[in-house]
Structure 1
Amino acid sequence: MSKVNITWEGNMKFVGTDEGGFKVPMDASSIYGGKNEGVRPMELMLMSLGGCTGIELGHILNKMRVCYDRLDIEVSGNRAEEHPKVFSDIQVVYRLSGENIPVEKVNKALQMAEQVYCSASNMIKNVAEITYSIEINGTIHPYEA
């Protein structure tokens, strides 16, 4: 069982701490009285999606012996107009750089990462439409799910 603790630090600031002692400050926007002293919880969900799929993608690429020099992930999402303002659609872009990166292997690794191994993507896709794209050395390649 996973467990985290959330501690109120005054005003609208909270700090989440995981079982390993890692801390994440969270704060509300100024509209709700926040002071921009932490990430917004909904943005943290986007970070979780990117982090989870990124970890799985990197792990699978390593097993496939695909070398890369850099892997950056951009995640953006649109939220519903009405409450609860859940994400209606999310876009994830994986940017890899390095020599001789085979797009077919990256595509296969991303399929496995997002469809099978990443718990965050499998949970979030029940609420929001998630689209993925791959960019290798500046060239965009279509993701084939």
Structure 2
Amino acid sequence: MNFYLKDNSMQVDLDYGNLKVSGNESYGYRPFQLMVASIVGCSGSVFRKILDKQRIEIEGLSISSEVERNPDEADRIERISLHYSVTGSNLNKEKLYKNLELSRKNCSMVRSVESSIIIDETLEIIDSN
């Protein structure tokens, strides 16, 4: 990827479109937002692939995140809390938790930051019956 400075943001042209990154939300996505989005995107995608391989049918998956930053250390991210909400019928909670652990072990973004950022995960099952 080749980034360039334009209009108060660092930009890169990707296959999906132009990405603008800036410390000021008026000019682009903030770096911490992209960090959290990459962790959620990777973790959620891996989780979904595991469920698909096990033929576990779900009706929906959403992940909410909360970020804890340290203002005394350049606002570095110290903790990311992820809350998974899985919607479906007859879902096995124990199996979903095991799959969540497995997805953590296979998510490259989580593995890349696990020694410097605490990542907490919780799971909620919403029964669609």
Displacement of 1:22 in angstroms is 4.0
CA distance in 2 between counterparts of 1:132 and 1:84 reads 25
Provide structure 1 residue ranges, at least 5 long, that are not aligned to the other structure.
Answer: 30-34, 139-145
Find the counterpart in structure 2 of residue 23 from structure 1. 18
Alpha-carbon distance in 1 for matches of 2:69, 2:21? 19
TM-score of the aligned structures, taking structure 1 as reference length? 0.79
The count of aligned residue pairs is: 127
Match of 1:98?
88
Aligned to 1:39: 29
- Aligned ranges for residues 54-65 of structure 1 at < 5 Å? 54-65=44-55
- Quote the Cα distance in structure 1 between the aligned partners of 2:72 and 2:12: 27
Letter in 1 for 2:6: E
The answer as to whether partners of 1:93 and 1:132 remain within 8 angstroms in 2 is yes
CA separation in 2, counterparts of 1:72 and 1:121? 18
Q: Distance in 2 between matches of 1:68 and 1:122?
A: 26
Percent of residue pairs bearing the same amino acid type: 24
Superposed displacement of residue 40, structure 1: 0.3
Counterparts of 1:17 and 1:83, CA distance in 2? 31
**Structure 2 CA distance for aligned equivalents of residues 83 and 6 of structure 1:** 26
- In 1, the alpha carbon distance for the partners of 2:88 and 2:12 equals 35
The residue correspondences of 1:1-145 to structure 2 (distance < 5 A) are: 4-11=1-8, 13-18=9-14, 20=15, 22-29=17-24, 36-114=26-104, 116-137=105-126
What secondary structure does 1:111 align onto? helix
1:25 maps to a residue whose letter is K
**Kept after mapping to 2: 8 A contact 1:70/1:96:** yes
Deviation, 1:117, is: 0.8
CA distance in 2, matches of 1:56, 1:104: 18
Aligned Cα RMSD in Å? 1.8
Q: How much has 1:21 moved relative to structure 2?
A: 5.0
Higher strand fraction: Structure 1 or Structure 2? 2
Q: 1:21 to 1:60 in 2, by over 3 A?
A: same
